[in-house]
Structure 1
């Protein structure tokens, strides 16, 4: 009889703080959530208002924080030429506030080519700013989950040598929006893995976006399975109008202790 394998199952945890570079208060919250809490990675917006200030802040105060690229088609400034994005940008030459306009705008082949060029420009900006390849790839307001944009994100990861892509699959728990979100994530995961790009085995945090607290973190920890899990978070030092509770998230992330968080993943 073969000897029984008594090794404990692997339960790696990635805790990602989205929106690095959006504003100084968000950057400060992310750094604090890494230094004082469980955040292992952050996702950086190339066109965010504080994008260039965020890099030296992290390098000086949180050098162990893994930083990936937060692809954007909303709320930020473009990184590439404006002309190909005509019809998408606001009169101030910004992306629209929400991703839905961009998802609809990008349904034609020519416009998807414009998105491809823009996302490459964002990746170029990342490499110039940080001096290296992103640790991972995801997107602002989950725009890369759109079926006609997901293949562009996979292609970007493949061509740029970015090893990991967010392809979320979170239990719906009776919520229709989470069910759709996760169905799109599963579809993207199949495409990514077929292309040799890794995706976490499990994902959590979508249902708690902007209101993650100690209780939700305990629930997420209890539900964490074997393999690699990613938790999505949004810490900051100030709350936002409309109920986005970044300060609550920061306080929760800075005071909880969760085994298995993996800065090297």
Structure 2
């Protein structure tokens, strides 16, 4: 059985250095797709880049958290319509406050905000492939997974499944899913990260796997506003290194990405780019 790998760049649109790093990883590196965050300040720039490059596959990174208080973003829906998605200050929660959000978020308000984020992308005349989540594994709650699955069906989009229960559920529904556990690059250590990625490629099992990576440039703004800039810089270093492409070729690993079928939201895994 062949070894297939989705290398998806999360957080496209978060801020300009992320946009630059993601684009570089897609066009000159080994990344095979990306996910766009519609509420973020640099989302308009990311959407412009995608309009100019319709061949680049991308999903929508459904967003209920703000990672950078010094560079904030907010719901696309009026705050009065989604109060359960906001903290005591009336802002998006931080990623380290996932339990607090999940304890109070109302599914109907999540649906309103997710629908607004999807609409922002469609109104920009873009064609996403799939839906996934920022800082939430499979939506974080079963009912939020249900909300996302219904929106994916409505728009003919795929859904990224991270954990075993969601993968099994999608498989029961007859939807292609990945075969193995999901890798989130924020869970990798920074020390010897390049070597760790190389080890993971060599050990990649047969079937389809997915990595969520987070490339970004380490410019002055990134260092100032983003506590995770080192993760992004080291991801970018590996994804754009000639050695990474050479290792993929030597290992016979096929890069794939999510692709919307337009027929009930099923996700297909396309041929190598």
- Calculate the TM-score normalised by the size of structure 2: 0.77
Match of 1:97 among 83, 86, 94: 94
Q: Is residue 44–residue 51 contact of structure 1 (8 Å, CA) maintained in 2?
A: yes
Rounded to whole Å, the distance in 2 between the matches of 1:242 and 1:262 is 27
Residue 51 (structure 2) pairs with residue 78 (structure 1): no
1:31 partner SS? helix
Residue 210 (structure 2) pairs with residue 230 (structure 1): yes
Match of 1:252 among 217, 238, 241: 238
The change in CA–CA distance for 1:207 and 1:247 in structure 2 (over 3 A counts) is closer
Match of 2:156 in 1: 161
Q: Is residue 79–residue 118 contact of structure 1 (8 Å, CA) maintained in 2?
A: yes
1:219 partner SS? helix
The change in CA–CA distance for 1:49 and 1:243 in structure 2 (over 3 A counts) is closer
Q: Deviations along 1:23-81, whole A, 9 cap, x unmatched?
A: 11101000011112111111111101111111112343x54321101011111421223
Q: CA deviation at 1:211?
A: 5.0
Q: CA deviation at 1:208?
A: 4.7
Question: Relative to structure 2, which stretch is displaced further, 239-248 or 111-120?
Answer: 239-248
Question: Relative to structure 2, which stretch is displaced further, 36-45 or 136-145?
Answer: 136-145
Match of 1:12 in 2: 4
Number of residue pairs aligned between Structure 1 and Structure 2: 234
Question: Which segments of structure 1 move beyond 6 Å, counting only runs of 4 or more?
Answer: none
2:237 partner SS? helix
Question: Relative to structure 2, which stretch is displaced further, 243-252 or 21-30?
Answer: 243-252
Question: Relative to structure 2, which stretch is displaced further, 255-264 or 115-124?
Answer: 255-264
Q: Is residue 37–residue 63 contact of structure 2 (8 Å, CA) maintained in 1?
A: yes
Rounded to whole Å, the distance in 1 between the matches of 2:232 and 2:185 is 15
Residue 14 (structure 2) pairs with residue 28 (structure 1): no
Question: Relative to structure 2, which stretch is displaced further, 72-81 or 203-212?
Answer: 203-212
Match of 1:38 in 2: 30
2:143 partner SS? coil
Instruction: Report matched runs for 1:114-263 at 5 Å.
Output: 114-132=109-127, 134-142=128-136, 144-163=139-158, 165-168=159-162, 185-206=163-184, 208-209=186-187, 211=189, 213-238=193-218, 240-241=226-227, 244-255=230-241, 256-257=244-245, 258=248, 259-263=253-257
Match of 2:266 in 1: none
Residue 68 (structure 2) pairs with residue 68 (structure 1): no
The change in CA–CA distance for 1:194 and 1:130 in structure 2 (over 3 A counts) is farther
RMSD: 2.3
Q: Is residue 210–residue 244 contact of structure 1 (8 Å, CA) maintained in 2?
A: no
1:141 partner SS? coil
Structure 2 unmatched runs, 5+? 67-72, 260-268
Structure 1 unmatched runs, 5+? 1-8, 169-184
1:17 partner SS? strand
Q: Deviations along 1:83-111, whole A, 9 cap, x unmatched?
A: 232243257753112233321112xxxx1
Q: CA deviation at 1:230?
A: 0.9
